[in-house]
Amino acid sequence: MAFEALKKGQAPKTVQNLIRCLSSMLGHAVEDELISVNVALKPGKFLPRISKRSNVNPLTREEVALFLAKVHERAPLYFPLFLCALRTGLRQGELIALQWGDIDFHGRFIEVQRNYTRGRFATPKGGESRRVDMSLELTQVLRDLLTDRQLEASAKGQPDIQPWVFISSTGGLVNHNYLRSGIFHGLLRAAELRRIRFHDLRHTFASLLLQQGESLIYVKEQMGHSSIQLTVDLYGHLIPGGNKQAVDRLDQPVNVVAAPQPSATQAQPARYVWTPRASKPSELLEDTGSVFGVSDGFRTRDLRIHNPAL
């Protein structure tokens, strides 16, 4: 079944999900003793390993600039939306569901609290809200957008503005199909850029952060990943690698640190320095208590006396 579905053009991830559903049903059948073996127990037996990186197709910094310029020229109504997608990494459903109350202009961050998917509102993927930083440019663009909405509402005699940050030309929620197929892909063609998915704007945000040297921890938090391993699996190949300069730095000489000066307060008693007064070797041997240690009976030169294991 798996190989037939792959031959028909189904994506490996889709086939894997189908096998998992089948495995779940067969598992219940085994528990009810209707069958003896769950033949779909391990989907990995039927499908090759699915690389998470294969679907990551981000834009470069130059392509981002070209795309945004084309958006500003052809579809200025959607410029704040696409800029927000590229500066925050929000998913398409999170952008559609964004409200003005989620934005803190003073702190320059967005509280991502909801997602719009399949015609209904839900929590963001992962079930938890997250806080995403806003760049200076994005903050100013959204502040100007809010001012324009307020002036427009005042001119129409409306007491309040729409709660949604990004709205359609009719003033309602943005249709995600039209945004993706009618607007986004058309702008890519107009900018003479390759066809990518809307979700690749999210990947673009993460990849550009990593390429400019930001930490994986910061990218993980901004993206809302459940673990840093997921961030590494998706974007590890985009992190700038080392070069010969990295190993060359190992050849650099170490600065010789001067020997530490004795402290004014010694943790241990100062070593006894004996200055012989006798002039004959025989006289030195007679004063062994003064030469080799104290004569109070608490110190010995042979540690084996106290520790037989030695």
* Digit-coded pLDDT (tens) for 192-240: 999 999 999 999 999 999 988 899 999 999 999 988 888 888 888 777 7
Quote the mean pLDDT of the chain. 81
Q: Identify whether residues 64 and 38 lie together within a single domain.
A: no
Asked if 46 and 82 sit in the same domain, the reply is no
Q: What pLDDT does residue 34 have? A: 85
Please report whether residue 221 resides in a domain: yes
**Same structural domain, 20 and 139:** no
The pLDDT of residue 188 is: 97
Q: Which two tokens stand for residue 226?
A: 């459940």
- Same domain flag for 8 and 98: no
* Number of folded domains that form the chain: 2
At residue 78, the pLDDT reads: 97
Are 184 and 219 contained in the same domain? yes
Residue 48: per-residue pLDDT? 57
Give which of 161, 165, 171, 175 is closest to 145, Cα–Cα: 165
Q: Same domain, yes or no, for 46 and 63?
A: no
CA nearest neighbour of 102 among 46, 40, 159, 146: 146
Shared domain for 108 and 37, answered yes or no, is no
Give 142-184 pLDDT, tens digit per residue. 999 999 999 999 998 988 899 999 999 888 999 999 999 999 9
Query: Which domain range does residue 110 map to?
Result: 55-238
Tell me: do 44 and 102 sit in the same domain: no
Supply the pLDDT for residue 286. 47
Residue 265: the pLDDT is 46
pTM over 0.85: no
**Helix residue ranges per DSSP H, 156-280:** 176-177, 185-190, 200-211, 216-223, 228-235, 244-248
Among 238, 272, 291, residue at a domain's last position: 238
Taking 70 as the pLDDT cut, the residues of the chain under it are 1-13, 42-54, 241-244, 256-310
End-to-end alpha-carbon separation of the chain, Å? 72
User: Does 34 lie in the same domain as 68?
Assistant: no
Structure confidence at residue 84 (pLDDT):
98
Q: Is residue 97 part of a domain?
A: yes
* Model pLDDT, residue 289: 46
Helix (H, G, I), strand (E, B) or coil at 168: coil
CATH code, domain carrying 107: 1.10.443.10
Is 138 among the domain residues?
Answer: yes
